[in-house]
Structure 1
Amino acid sequence: MVSVPLPVERVREELTGYDGRVSVAAVNGPASVVVSGDVQGLDELLTHWTEAGVRARRIAVDYASHSAHVEELKDELLDVLAPIEPQAGRIPVYSTVTGEVEDGSGFDAAYWFTNLRQTVEFETATRKLLADGYGVFVESSPHPVVSLGVQETIEDTEGASGAFTVGSLRRDDGGLDRLLTSLAELHVHGVSPDWGKVFPDTARHVALPTYAFQRERYWPTPAPRAGDVSAAGLASAEHPLLGAAVTLAGGEGALLTGRLSLDTHGWLADHVVAGRIVVPGTALLEMALRAAEEVDCAQVEELVLEAPLVLPQNGSVDVQVSVGAEDGSGCRPVSVHSRPGTSRETGWRRNAHGTLTEVAPPAPAEPREWAGRPAGSEEIDAEEVYTRLAEGGLVYGPVFRGLRTAWRQGEDLFAEVRLPQAEHATADAYGIHPALLDAALHAAAHPEFAGPGAEARLPFSWRGVAVGVRGAAEARVRLTRAGTDALTVTLTDPAGRLLASAESLSLRPLATDLFEAPPADDSLFRLTWTPAPGLKGGSGAPPLTWHQDFRSAAHSLTGADAAGPGVVGVRRRPAVPQVAEVHRETAEALAFVQAVLASDENGPGPRALIVLPADDLAACGVRGLVRSAQSEHPGRFVLVEADRELTPAEVAGVLAFDEPEMALRDGTLSVPRLARVRVEGEARAG
């Protein structure tokens, strides 16, 4: 069996010529299909899809369910299943066999044979559930398998945006804690279980603490939705840091791309270096490991980290991981580049480069379960480690403070590291979670190992890195000194199986000169006044009545002689900037604004032209009030800040230009515009 991330219509087209050999076994979602059949046919299709850049994967089973091969077992299966006596159940079943809602009374031997023989129409059943108003999907299984297809179907179904899916248990995490966590996921979506049955006679409500919460996130961050990159000739990279992958023509390499931001990868905000949010070097290494998988390389032979990848508080960063052609010895060059995601003018910056190799790493040692504290070791205070790192400019938030306990044994360090619970659900998507691997290195900062006068050091060069068991949320670490500023790194899981290893990791002191000033982007703007283009004054202004204060202007809009369509102008004189004056002026301006809007009851009311003296502190309240009115009633209020009285031609020009706010300074009429803040020292290629 092979999983294919393509629409079923395209899969069926590509199965032409494979009749009787390979067939569609299951349709789990709009782009989640499984095929089954002859091994040779599957091998041919797998090769074809791989060359086309489709991330098809073989499923680890040795039988071809839902294919013609099941016919060979028909008589035997019908005989074995014959004693089944189906009965109607209380809970309706949306059948993936008939496509209808069933009560179970027809689930006899023939039904179950058909279930095993024909295509599983899981997407059809999901769509029918959505159409019937169901919006909560719980996958009861040892590990989420079809939840991805359900989520795809939800996102592809109009009006189903409020629906969601959760799992129940997970691979290597099948205990009561995992089940309760899944119940909690339901609860935060607004679907609460009967807690009395979950905790019979043992649970009670407790009060929340009255002090402010610290360093905890309580608002859920939605996962970024993956678009259909196949429409652009790409394949999904199936990785949290990388969105798309494409194999270059001629087998010359591959390119993987992604976009990082705090909106989509909020956990990166917990990695602060020299006051900046920096993507950890372990994340760049994880990208290189994913690139190695794309071109069938076994490990990262070397990766040198050249420049930090800084994330802005707002906005995003585009990332490219490129792999070159094989050099004849099984090695390929790899590099990681980045640039601001809001700019197409800024060039790409290389953050890391290195080499991938097809040569497999040495076989891991025999697994040994964790044995607690190593004999003859000295315990290291984890909090002291983080204090020392912070003093050196490396400030870690909860996601990266994964060091739980550590020991020093001669020239070796042993540590236990663990991701916070909130990150356990995403660990499966990584070869090795960057925050877990980063935490594995923290113990090396302790003065008992690094020396009392050592500066804060960051990863610089990795050599011989390979991943074993994927998706770990906790690890036992062994760091062995391999030179003055180098370590050998080994991570294992609680059962002693290898998670990741590095033949050598070189560390270097933190160099703040590598942090270039970030380019201007859409995160920081300032207000500028730009001369109004083409505005030289005008003529033919609508009827205009001037008033010297807001009170008389408001009075002119009421009563039998109220002004009709046209313009009511207020020329405010400079005033002494006292609190009482600000309050009085703002209150009178509010009455005027309300009168302008109330005049619409007797037909179209007038526009209001408000001229305020330049740099008048007492007018600030009026200015803010009028701007609020402009946002609610566009076109009704025009605000002008002037250093003298406007001429009739200038008034006509202001009204004709149709800007909500203008300024007259030194005889020039200007309009307010936002301009990006330029960072000192920024250079742009010309």
Structure 2
Amino acid sequence: LEQLVAGHERARRIDVDYASHGPHVEAIREELLTALSGIAPQAAAVPFHSTVTGSSIDTTGLDAAYWYTNLRQPVRFAEAVTGLLGQGLGAFVEISAHPVLVVGVGECIERGEGSAVALGTLRRDEGGTERFMRALAEAWTHGVPVDWRRAFPADARTVQLPTYAFQRRRYWLAGSGATAGDAAGLGLADAGHPLLGAAVAVADGGGHVLTGRLSLRTHPWLADHAVAGTVLLPGTAFVELAVRAGDEAGCGRLDELTLHEPLLLGPQDAVALQVVVGGADDRERRSVDVYSRPDGAPAEQPWVRHASGTLAGSACGTGAADWAVCDWPPAGAERIELDGHYPRLAETGYAYGPAFQGLIAAWRRGDELFATVRLDGEQRDGASRYALHPALLDAALHAVLLDDDADRVDGVRLPFSWSGVTVAAGGAATARVRIARSEGDAVSIWLADDAGRPVASVESLALRPVTEDRLRAAGRVGEDLYRGVWGPVVVAGGELVGRWAVVGASVDASWGALGLVWRGLGEVGAADVVVAVCGGGSAAEVVAWVLGLVQ
């Protein structure tokens, strides 16, 4: 396990007491064949695709010898899924008490050709009818036919959706944020990430560029991260972007990441993202920078650099593997009452919505803080697509705010500098968190899963106060105060309407040649243009700079 983690593979130990799919099974071969000798396999009405053979087989052959082989030989899971994809299947539904294969199927889909979706049914602690009906709805919205007559009582009937009067509230689920289009056809690779659309390796220098597009329409959950009355991309999202870029470049550790400018998201705004990874130096370290600018901005508009840092080729140093906990809460830790915690945060400027209210329990032991954090709803369902979901890591930081002074006047505190970030197991939807003070006001953070196994760690995180004025100024970074805009000019019946000023030509000679009647403010010189536009008597509505007209 340690070698896999050191090699940047996502792996975790399975809690079983026997070694399947290996030579150890041969010791119980005769015992298994005897125990299973009474099996009488039957022909199946539904095609059966075996992970023993990797292909479709006749179920009448599922005898004792088959099941022994199933336990002894390697599992040809990816081969079976790829074969089904090749037959044009568009949906895979895992029927189990908790979806553990959906992630593996999804990875096979990403590597294969064509498009498909992987879905679950029940979940751990969610095994009732409501969860199953929700799974049916998810399948139906992905194009899987559902016989709703069998899902509801016989007297159930369909109804029309209610009308509404301009509230602009959608009935349908918001999009996943995935970028439409064929990235491969554009010479790019699909980034396979909710915040990024495409990735490309730079031909000269061994660097990488990952691109994406963000808005509150495509990623509505980000609207729940409002600070000082402003919606901004959480600092944990910049960490996620850098970690994903590190995966692309073969770097398993984010050595450092400094945030320079907040990325504000307005209700109608959309921004283009670029995550740029530089070439490797002699120590296999690479630079990483995160940029944005308004989507559709002209080519000459500069990009804003929001974060910069360094990626390392291996997960060395103090990392997540150095902390694991099975006893929870830890011995000697005293519970912290969280009633009213998020309303109190809102009073101090942290207006977190449901997607970011993931802190559900906290304890203190000396200078250490412990917490349980959890994603709910759509964020929980989509956690497997992230290395470490930004809302989950952000919820861990909310425990740090328990020690903040409610009367502080220097602004809210936001992540500023991250050091030594490693992810041991991706896709977590819940986590146990330990927070310890490091140098100055910085903290170290460790996250583990429900079984105490390492998920991620941050060697050092420094937070810095940010005022409302600073956030408002950040929203103007890269924007022009004024822009030139071409508009229509009204000419009614050969007569110039409005207050005009002419620069650089004779009124009578120029306008008379066009058959237009001049009723403007008169002829002005070039030095008077500012006066003509901004005031100094009757301000001009239109200034015409005439280079010359020939009669």
User: Normalised by the size of structure 1, how large is the TM-score?
Assistant: 0.53
Counterpart selection for 2:127 from 177, 185, 206: 177
Query: C-alpha distance in 2, partners of 1:329/1:519?
Result: 35
Structure-2 residue corresponding to 1:15:
none
Cα distance, 1:481 vs. partner? 2.0
Structure-2 residue corresponding to 1:577:
none
Report 1:78-93 matches (<5 A). 87-91=42-46
Please state whether the residue corresponding to 2:246 is helix, strand or coil.
Answer: helix
Please state whether the residue corresponding to 1:282 is helix, strand or coil.
Answer: helix
Cα distance, 1:537 vs. partner? 6.7
Query: C-alpha distance in 1, partners of 2:478/2:461?
Result: 34
What do residues 232-276 of structure 1 show as CA deviations (whole Å, max 9, x unaligned)? 222222221112122222553211111112232111111112322
Structure-1 residue corresponding to 2:197:
243
Cα distance, 1:86 vs. partner? 6.5
Cα distance, 1:323 vs. partner? 1.2
RCO higher in structure (CA 8 A, sep ≥6): 2
What do residues 491-527 of structure 1 show as CA deviations (whole Å, max 9, x unaligned)? 1112112211111111111233243345899xxxxx9
Report 1:199-214 matches (<5 A). none
Report 1:414-425 matches (<5 A). 414-425=370-381
Cα distance, 1:366 vs. partner? 5.5
The 8 Å contact of residues 110 and 192 in structure 2, kept in 1 or not, is answered as no
The one-letter amino acid paired with 1:248 is: V
The 8 Å contact of residues 166 and 186 in structure 1, kept in 2 or not, is answered as no
Structure-2 residue corresponding to 1:573:
none
Q: Does residue 1:357 correspond to 2:357, yes or no?
A: no
Q: Out of 402-411 and 458-467, give the one that drifted further.
A: 402-411
Percent identity reads 40
User: Structure 1 233/182 Cα, relative in aligned 2: closer, same or farther at 3 Å?
Assistant: farther
Structure-1 residue corresponding to 2:340:
383
The 8 Å contact of residues 431 and 470 in structure 1, kept in 2 or not, is answered as yes
Query: C-alpha distance in 2, partners of 1:375/1:240?
Result: 40
The one-letter amino acid paired with 2:357 is: R
The one-letter amino acid paired with 1:220 is: L
Please state whether the residue corresponding to 1:320 is helix, strand or coil.
Answer: strand
User: Structure 1 254/129 Cα, relative in aligned 2: closer, same or farther at 3 Å?
Assistant: closer
Structure-2 residue corresponding to 1:23:
none
What do residues 430-461 of structure 1 show as CA deviations (whole Å, max 9, x unaligned)? 11110010010112222x45575364211011
User: Structure 1 186/254 Cα, relative in aligned 2: closer, same or farther at 3 Å?
Assistant: same
Please state whether the residue corresponding to 2:381 is helix, strand or coil.
Answer: helix
Q: Does residue 1:290 correspond to 2:244, yes or no?
A: yes
Cα distance, 1:378 vs. partner? 4.9
Structure-1 residue corresponding to 2:16:
none
The 8 Å contact of residues 90 and 103 in structure 1, kept in 2 or not, is answered as no
Query: C-alpha distance in 2, partners of 1:498/1:403?
Result: 19
Report 1:83-482 matches (<5 A). 87-91=42-46, 138-140=93-95, 142-144=100-102, 145-146=104-105, 166-168=119-121, 177=127, 181=131, 183-187=133-137, 191=146, 192=148, 219-223=172-176, 224=178, 226-345=180-299, 346-359=301-314, 360-362=316-318, 364-365=321-322, 367-372=324-329, 374-381=331-338, 383-384=340-341, 386-446=342-402, 448=403, 450=405, 452-453=407-408, 455-482=411-438
Query: C-alpha distance in 2, partners of 1:376/1:103?
Result: 58
Please state whether the residue corresponding to 1:187 is helix, strand or coil.
Answer: helix
The 8 Å contact of residues 183 and 193 in structure 1, kept in 2 or not, is answered as no
Cα distance, 1:424 vs. partner? 1.4
Query: C-alpha distance in 1, partners of 2:198/2:302?
Result: 21
Please state whether the residue corresponding to 1:440 is helix, strand or coil.
Answer: helix
Query: C-alpha distance in 1, partners of 2:112/2:312?
Result: 39
The one-letter amino acid paired with 1:187 is: A
Unmatched tracts of structure 2, length 5 or more: 1-8, 14-20, 22-32, 141-145, 154-168, 480-484, 496-518, 521-551
Counterpart selection for 2:449 from 479, 493, 500: 493
Cα distance, 1:153 vs. partner? 9.8
User: Structure 1 85/286 Cα, relative in aligned 2: closer, same or farther at 3 Å?
Assistant: same
Report 1:541-556 matches (<5 A). none
What do residues 534-559 of structure 1 show as CA deviations (whole Å, max 9, x unaligned)? x7579xxxxxxxxxxxxxxxxxxxxx
Cα distance, 1:318 vs. partner? 0.8
The one-letter amino acid paired with 1:406 is: A
Aligned length: 426
User: Structure 1 146/330 Cα, relative in aligned 2: closer, same or farther at 3 Å?
Assistant: closer
The 8 Å contact of residues 333 and 363 in structure 2, kept in 1 or not, is answered as no
Cα distance, 1:331 vs. partner? 2.1
Query: C-alpha distance in 2, partners of 1:168/1:221?
Result: 21
The 8 Å contact of residues 315 and 342 in structure 1, kept in 2 or not, is answered as no
User: Structure 1 186/517 Cα, relative in aligned 2: closer, same or farther at 3 Å?
Assistant: same
Query: C-alpha distance in 1, partners of 2:417/2:478?
Result: 30
Cα distance, 1:139 vs. partner? 3.6
Structure-1 residue corresponding to 2:511:
none
Please state whether the residue corresponding to 1:269 is helix, strand or coil.
Answer: helix
Please state whether the residue corresponding to 2:416 is helix, strand or coil.
Answer: strand
Cα distance, 1:218 vs. partner? 7.1
Query: C-alpha distance in 2, partners of 1:101/1:253?
Result: 43
Cα distance, 1:400 vs. partner? 0.3
Please state whether the residue corresponding to 1:289 is helix, strand or coil.
Answer: helix
Query: C-alpha distance in 1, partners of 2:240/2:207?
Result: 18
What do residues 180-226 of structure 1 show as CA deviations (whole Å, max 9, x unaligned)? 635422135553596699xxxxxxxxxxxxxxxxxx99742232355
Query: C-alpha distance in 2, partners of 1:485/1:462?
Result: 13
User: Structure 1 347/178 Cα, relative in aligned 2: closer, same or farther at 3 Å?
Assistant: farther
Query: C-alpha distance in 2, partners of 1:444/1:480?
Result: 9
The one-letter amino acid paired with 2:364 is: R
Unmatched tracts of structure 1, length 5 or more: 1-55, 66-78, 157-162, 198-215, 522-526, 539-665, 668-686
Structure-2 residue corresponding to 1:676:
none
Query: C-alpha distance in 2, partners of 1:166/1:348?
Result: 38
User: Structure 1 127/368 Cα, relative in aligned 2: closer, same or farther at 3 Å?
Assistant: closer
The one-letter amino acid paired with 1:531 is: V
User: Structure 1 165/468 Cα, relative in aligned 2: closer, same or farther at 3 Å?
Assistant: closer
The 8 Å contact of residues 166 and 182 in structure 1, kept in 2 or not, is answered as no
Query: C-alpha distance in 2, partners of 1:107/1:381?
Result: 55
Q: Give the structure with higher Rg (CA).
A: 1
User: Structure 1 361/373 Cα, relative in aligned 2: closer, same or farther at 3 Å?
Assistant: closer
The 8 Å contact of residues 245 and 257 in structure 1, kept in 2 or not, is answered as yes
The 8 Å contact of residues 374 and 407 in structure 1, kept in 2 or not, is answered as no
Query: C-alpha distance in 2, partners of 1:153/1:376?
Result: 49
Cα distance, 1:282 vs. partner? 0.3
Please state whether the residue corresponding to 1:279 is helix, strand or coil.
Answer: coil
The 8 Å contact of residues 227 and 350 in structure 2, kept in 1 or not, is answered as yes
The one-letter amino acid paired with 1:228 is: D
Structure-1 residue corresponding to 2:464:
508
The one-letter amino acid paired with 1:349 is: V
The one-letter amino acid paired with 1:350 is: R
Query: C-alpha distance in 1, partners of 2:149/2:464?
Result: 52
CA RMSD of aligned residues (A): 4.7
Please state whether the residue corresponding to 2:340 is helix, strand or coil.
Answer: helix
The 8 Å contact of residues 359 and 372 in structure 2, kept in 1 or not, is answered as yes
Please state whether the residue corresponding to 1:301 is helix, strand or coil.
Answer: strand
